[in-house]
Amino acid sequence: MKAVSPDLDWKGAQVPVSKQFDDPYYSLENGLKEAQHVFLAANGLPDRFQDGLSIAELGFGAGLNFLTTLQAWQRSGQEGQLQFASFEAYPLTQADLIRALQPFDIIAPLAQELVDGWSDLLRTGQWKSGDVNLSLNIGDARITLPRWKGRANCWYLDGFSPAKNPELWEADLLSEVFFHTENEGTATTYTAAGYVRRNLEDAGFWVERAEGYGRKRHMTVARKGSKDAE
Ligand SMILES: C[S@@+](CC[C@H](N)C(=O)[O-])C[C@H]1O[C@@H](n2cnc3c(N)ncnc32)[C@H](O)[C@@H]1O
């Protein structure tokens, strides 16, 4: 599939907003802190870092979740390999990627590395920084995820809001997420929408609500395996 880059607006000149989905790519308050709360901490990271850990994501966007994870991995001093697979239908242009990541000083060197490797990543689907291997699966996740050979220990479910981007939260896709999750794996998302929670439960996950980030009261944590497992 030929990748189509998204048309963007910019909120406060800093946060990309998809014109197609009429939704921002991350929290208007602080996208990086949101990534740390919703995707790292709620998946038990960095405590669960170990050689060979596999993280997967629906919606790569500007790569903020990825870069936040990469930075945490490097800071943890963990040895070995981290696999990060992301699924994205509409990859940003390099110019939009630069603009989106520019406000996040704390990850600037890693962001620069990603920007420098962006056209290669779009061409090959692969990118590496130290021991962290990123694979970007370009295309509609409803098509690319069923073909994926991997299984993740942690999932970042980061589509646009379920009301605006329902295709990234539908039952069949979340069943594929469950299938592509290791036992005792987890999946987290910023949304606590009933439709999403039900689809995760129907897929086979144990589902809980947790404290949300910023103005969101609740978010969702899903676990594969026995209910009481840590
Ligand atoms: C909220 S943004 C993700 C933000 C991103 N995780 C980050 O750290 O910057 C949602 C992403 O889902 C992507 N998306 C929407 N529908 C999709 C689909 N059917 N398949 C794959 N990606 C999709 C959008 O293009 C967008 O990049």
Q: Which atom of ligand 1 is least distant from the CA of 66?
A: 8
pLDDT recorded at residue 28: 85
pLDDT recorded at residue 196: 98
91 to each of 61, 63, 69, 222, how far by Cα in Å?
Answer: 7, 10, 19, 27
pLDDT recorded at residue 208: 97
**Looking at ligand 1, which residue's alpha carbon is closest to its atom 11?**
59
* Average pLDDT value for residue range 105-129: 97
76 to each of 49, 69, 223, how far by Cα in Å?
Answer: 8, 10, 24
Q: How far is the CA of 17 from the centre of ligand 1 (A)?
A: 11
Separation between Cα atoms, residue 106 and residue 67, nearest integer Å: 10
* Average pLDDT value for residue range 195-209: 98
Separation between Cα atoms, residue 161 and residue 221, nearest integer Å: 16
Percent of the chain topping pLDDT 70: 97
E strand spans, 28-177: 53-58, 82-88, 126-129, 132-138, 152-157
pLDDT recorded at residue 29: 86
2 to each of 88, 93, 122, 139, 215, how far by Cα in Å?
Answer: 12, 14, 11, 8, 37
pLDDT digits (tens, 9 = 90+) for 19-64: 999 999 998 888 999 999 999 999 999 999 999 999 999 999 999 9
Pocket residues: Cβ below 6 A from ligand 1: 6, 25-26, 59-65, 87-90, 140-142, 158-160, 165, 167-168
pLDDT recorded at residue 228: 61
Q: How far is the CA of 60 from the centre of ligand 1 (A)?
A: 5
191 to each of 97, 138, 213, 228, how far by Cα in Å?
Answer: 24, 24, 10, 23
> Per CATH, is 28-223 categorized as 3.40.50.2300?
no
Higher pLDDT residue, 5 or 13?
5
Per DSSP, the residues of 192-211 read --HHHHHHHHHHT-EEEEEE
pLDDT at 137 over 70: yes
3-class secondary structure, 137 = strand
Ligand 1: which of 138, 165, 173, 177 to mutate, judged by most atoms within 8 Å of the beta carbon? 165
Q: Would you kindly state where each structural domain of the chain is located, as residue ranges?
A: 28-223
**Looking at ligand 1, which residue's alpha carbon is closest to its atom 13?**
59
Give the pLDDT band (50/70/90) at residue 2: low
pLDDT at 1 over 60: no
Q: How far is the CA of 16 from the centre of ligand 1 (A)?
A: 12
* Average pLDDT value for residue range 92-116: 97
* Average pLDDT value for residue range 196-207: 98
Q: Which atom of ligand 1 is least distant from the CA of 65?
A: 8
The strand pair at 181-189 and 152-157 is best described as parallel
**Looking at ligand 1, which residue's alpha carbon is closest to its atom 25?**
90
What φ, ψ does residue 53 adopt, rounded to 5°? -60, 145
pLDDT digits (tens, 9 = 90+) for 152-187: 999 999 999 999 999 999 999 999 999 999 999 999
Give the pLDDT band (50/70/90) at residue 3: confident
* Average pLDDT value for residue range 81-96: 98
